[in-house]
Amino acid sequence: MRFGVVIVVLAAIAVAMVTFRRCEVSTMHEIEQSQRQLIAQRRALADQEVRLGKVQAVAAVNARAEEMGVVVVPPGTDDYDMTGHVAVGGGN
């Protein structure tokens, strides 16, 4: 009788261990997937930051302004009209 109880208890422990191991493996798989997604998101963010840096570069801004016909005037200069000429009555 005692031997039967010991066998049942050992079997229950074995089943519990297998169940916990399955959960552990499943959780580890989810963690690995999350880490892969995080790496992909970080790469995408880095790509976006590079693109943003290129768009914000002074040369790129000046080129776009020139394409649109906008005159870029440095700060502290005389007032300019839309054609890039000193406005009438302008000046400091």
pTM: predicted TM-score of the whole model, two decimal places: 0.55
pLDDT tens per residue, range 71-92: 777 766 666 555 555 544 444 4
Going from N- to C-terminal start, the domains of the chain cover: 2-68
Q: What is the dihedral of CA 43, 44, 45, 47, to 10 degrees?
A: 90
Whole-number pLDDT of residue 83: 59
CB neighbourhood size of 61 (10 A): 13
Question: Is pLDDT of 26 > 90?
Answer: yes
CA distance 71 to 73: 6
Task: Evaluate if residue 21 carries a pLDDT over 60.
Answer: yes
Q: What is the pLDDT of residues 31-75, one digit of tens each?
A: 999 999 999 999 999 999 999 998 888 888 888 888 888 877 776
